[in-house]
Amino acid sequence: MCGIVGYVGRQDAVPVLLEGLARLEYRGYDSAGIAVVRNGTLRVHKRAGKVRDLAASMPKRLSGQVGIAHTRWATHGQPSDANAHPHVDMANRIAVVHNGMIEDSALLRERLRAEGVQFSSETDTELLAHLIAREDADDLEEAVRRALRRVHGAYGIAVLDATAPDRIVLARNGSPVLIGIGDHQMLCASDMAALVRHAQQVVHLEDGELATVTAESFSTATLDARPTVKTATTLESAASDYERGGFEHFMLKEISEQPQAIDATLRGRLDARLATARLGGLNLTARELRAFRRVHVIACGSALYAGMVGAGMLESLARIPAAAESAAEFRYRNAVIEPETLYVAVSQSGETADTLAAVEEIARKGGRVLGVVNVPGSSIARAVDGGIYLHAGPELSVASTKAFTSMTVAFALLALHLGRLRDLGPADGQRLLSALAKLPDKAAEALAAHDELKQLAAWIASAQSSFFIGRVRGYPVALEGAQKLKEVSYVHAEAYPAAELKHGPLALISPELPTVAIVPDDELLEKNLASLEQIHSRGGEVLAVAHRQLGTLADRLILVPKSEPELDPILLGLPLQLLAYYAAAALGRDIDQPRNLAKSVTVE
């Protein structure tokens, strides 16, 4: 959601800011804008719509060596030119871009109106510009500090002052802000993607920190003006990681990258000598791991479904009770935090607001939390006690594909590691190690049937709705398959445990409502085939995702290579990603940026 970019240096800021905004488009947005300072004058240009609309309408002489820019995802006020960021004060001296939400904005707006302030937008962000401008402070940083003490809510902000044209002031509380360190230039952003072309190192602000950034240096301090010390880390990603590389969409590129992503998640973590997984980042001894009596996974969206796959692996391999729960529900239900429970937080971005809040609640109550995240240095990565980095590489399409798959692979490693510490014998350990080593090649095989999947996708896209069903290992695969279809094609889809058909959903079965069935070749095969019989007997049509031919029980079939039963869900979900992608393409959808959705959900 929402993207921030800032630049101060020797170059013209405008091209750098526009490039940064383009690299943040994947996060989801409805408007964009830019502000620069030149010759002591603040100039702002903003538009509802895409970054390309902003660039096309840009005044030719708009330039400056310091500037901030933003892509907005509407919270307060509809998408419009007026509501787009940056927002300025009445004197056109202060400009602010803001991610997050000011919770007491309505009350503060009324107070400012009573003091004679005239607002030009419906946003909560504009009041920050007015508050900062009205502070009688010695410098911009102190004015920002005083203004922020008057508000409640989440924010990541960047602030310009026309009378201080050599600097940008940043602040963070609940929404990520990064500083990019370059050669005689500094950048700021809400996401690493905006920094990769112009910075070599990066610094992450913590909640409650402010920073003042100039072309040559930066300084950081707390809201009560205590200086803080930051350590810069080297940027691991390259600019090419954020480009489509000949693919029509990032989603298709990232689906195709999954064999390499699986290999990257596994690399260096398979221990053949001890028939286990090597996970040094857990920061837990074997004795500490053995002391846990259960595992509780917390996540949202696709990460939650990966957690459900993972919980099944943990129970199967480590023989430890495990469950997955929505972090959005967990954080509000006053959960009992048990010292003998290992909590695992899962997030591609490492910034998911509900998951981060759940991590903080668990930590507050003394629980032990591991993270499964894809972005080093992210908020969740810094908040947990240890964990597993996915190393899947940047994921830019809003719909998660390679990160979801790498999450399930990470859970397989965790389950193997815990299993070998408990009751899983070396023969089973070697069996799983061998299967994990073969996963990249099997993933490539599972993703090979593009022409066939295009035809199946056209059939699915022609339906008004569809069911996805599966049992035990297949159920989270069905959930994720239905979600992918919904979010990128806008075709309604619902997932059910296959055994639940007779408890209500069978009433909807008809020739017009297809069913996608996950049918692994395992101990539940006969049960799954019985479910297909029930659908056929009521006139329904079935697309089966299976390891073998199913005869007349499957009207259409996607064959997937077989792995070990515990790992089968990883491969069974892959063709469903392509099914959703090609259905969306057939319907002409905006695949990488589906309507109403954002990549990184950093507000509730």
* Average pLDDT score over residue span 175-203: 91
Q: How far apart, in whole angstroms, are the C-alpha atoms of residue 477 and residue 558? A: 14
Please answer whether residues 576 and 481 qualify as being in contact, where contact means their C-beta atoms are separated by less than 8 angstroms. yes
Look at residue 391 in the predicted model and tell me its pLDDT: 94
Q: Do 436 and 471 reside in the same domain of the chain?
A: no
597 belongs to a structural domain: no
Q: Do 276 and 187 reside in the same domain of the chain?
A: no
In angstroms, the Cα distances linking 20 to 157, 220, 480 are 16, 23, 31
Q: Do 217 and 74 reside in the same domain of the chain?
A: yes
594 belongs to a structural domain: no
199 belongs to a structural domain: yes
The residue among 422, 446, 470 that closes a domain is 446
Q: How far apart, in whole angstroms, are the C-alpha atoms of residue 386 and residue 18? A: 36
pTM for the predicted model, two decimal places: 0.86
Q: How far apart, in whole angstroms, are the C-alpha atoms of residue 510 and residue 104? A: 50
The residue among 192, 226, 242 that closes a domain is 242
Task: Residue 435: give the domain boundaries.
Answer: 244-446
The residue among 411, 446, 481 that closes a domain is 446
* Average pLDDT score over residue span 555-579: 97
pLDDT score of 17 more than 80: yes
What's 111's domain CATH number? 3.60.20.10
* Average pLDDT score over residue span 352-380: 93
Mean pLDDT of the chain: 93
Helices and strands (H, E) in the chain, number of each type: 19, 27
Q: Do 473 and 357 reside in the same domain of the chain?
A: no
274 confidence band (pLDDT: 50, 70, 90): very high
218 belongs to a structural domain: yes
* Average pLDDT score over residue span 573-594: 95
Look at residue 392 in the predicted model and tell me its pLDDT: 94
Q: Do 463 and 362 reside in the same domain of the chain?
A: no
Percent of the chain at pLDDT > 90 equals: 82
Beta-strand runs (E) in 64-152: 66-72, 87-88, 94-102
Q: Do 490 and 583 reside in the same domain of the chain?
A: yes
Q: Collect all residues with Cβ–Cβ distance below 8 Å to 163 and sequence separation of at least 6.
A: 40, 93
- Residue pLDDT, tens place only, 449-478: 999 999 999 999 999 999 999 999 999 999
592 belongs to a structural domain: no
What's 561's domain CATH number? 3.40.50.10490
Q: Do 144 and 195 reside in the same domain of the chain?
A: yes
pLDDT score of 324 more than 80: yes
Please answer whether residues 157 and 117 qualify as being in contact, where contact means their C-beta atoms are separated by less than 8 angstroms. no
Q: How far apart, in whole angstroms, are the C-alpha atoms of residue 384 and residue 377? A: 11
234 belongs to a structural domain: yes
Look at residue 236 in the predicted model and tell me its pLDDT: 73
* Average pLDDT score over residue span 275-283: 95
Q: How far apart, in whole angstroms, are the C-alpha atoms of residue 89 and residue 101? A: 19
Which residues share a beta bridge with 542? 515
Q: Do 152 and 284 reside in the same domain of the chain?
A: no
559 belongs to a structural domain: yes
Q: Do 472 and 427 reside in the same domain of the chain?
A: no
* Average pLDDT score over residue span 377-389: 93
Strands 153-161 and 201-204 turn out to be unpaired
Active site residues: 2, 599
pLDDT score of 1 more than 60: no
pLDDT score of 97 more than 80: yes
Look at residue 604 in the predicted model and tell me its pLDDT: 63
* Average pLDDT score over residue span 31-54: 94
Look at residue 425 in the predicted model and tell me its pLDDT: 97
Number of domains in the chain: 3
Look at residue 597 in the predicted model and tell me its pLDDT: 81
Q: Do 29 and 60 reside in the same domain of the chain?
A: yes
Q: How far apart, in whole angstroms, are the C-alpha atoms of residue 576 and residue 573? A: 5
- Residue pLDDT, tens place only, 476-531: 999 999 999 999 999 999 999 998 888 888 888 888 999 999 999 999 999 999 99
Q: How far apart, in whole angstroms, are the C-alpha atoms of residue 119 and residue 100? A: 19
593 belongs to a structural domain: no
- Residue pLDDT, tens place only, 70-96: 998 777 778 899 999 999 999 999 999
Look at residue 244 in the predicted model and tell me its pLDDT: 86
Look at residue 197 in the predicted model and tell me its pLDDT: 87
Look at residue 600 in the predicted model and tell me its pLDDT: 66
Neighbours of 424 (CB within 10 A): 22
Compute the half-sphere exposure of residue 281: CA atoms within 13 Å on the CB side of its CA: 19
Q: Do 320 and 397 reside in the same domain of the chain?
A: yes
Q: Do 554 and 471 reside in the same domain of the chain?
A: yes
Look at residue 487 in the predicted model and tell me its pLDDT: 95
Radius of gyration of the chain (CA): 25
pLDDT score of 538 more than 80: yes
* Average pLDDT score over residue span 319-328: 97
Look at residue 602 in the predicted model and tell me its pLDDT: 62
* Average pLDDT score over residue span 405-423: 97
